[in-house]
Amino acid sequence: VAANAAPGESFVRYIADTEHYEDIFDRMSQVKHSLKIASANLKNFTVYLDDDAPIQFCDFLLILLRRGVKIQIVCMQPFSFYRWVKDNLPELLNERGLEIRQNDHVHMKVFIFDDECAYIGSANLTGAAMGKRSSRQRNYEAGVLVQNNDIFDAAVRHFNKVWEADETIESDTYSFWDRL
């Protein structure tokens, strides 16, 4: 079934290797309202929007936020990401709509696009997994893209459970960034 099924349609599609950039990142760039990400790793890798010059993932997040997209990211160790942003793009940390939480037990990789479609798989939010790299620099990745079915519903429930877990540290409540 096509990954570009209409809202309301149900599908499951296997995603492998370079399809992570081609399909998953493309879907990320088209979100209208919300993007939820659970990933063990969070890095500032290079992305390409259409035929434009390459930009950093942080700049891509800023574009989404300025379009009004709410972004929730929960990851294991966001510290190097934060340090890069603090030194190079501090306005990202002050932009409304971005919330990053830390949970030392997050190893799952779940991306939820506009609360309509989800990716569940092996790809972290890194250049080797999601970036547009040569075959010698890429990871072998696998996952599924799902919409409007029991798997999608379970992925959303699981993301929300981790997002709200007692051991998840909220960046805006506990001076998360200040202690770095």
Quote the CA–CA distance of 132 and 50 in Å, as a whole number: 12
Helix runs in 52-175, H state only: 57-66, 79-88, 91-94, 127-130, 150-164
Q: Which residue has the higher pLDDT, 52 or 99?
A: 99
Provide the whole-model pTM: 0.87
Average pLDDT (77-103) is 85
CA dist list (Å): 14 to 29, 60, 124, 157, 159: 20, 25, 17, 21, 20
Grade residue 113 by pLDDT with cuts at 50, 70 and 90. very high
For residue 83, the SS3 value is helix
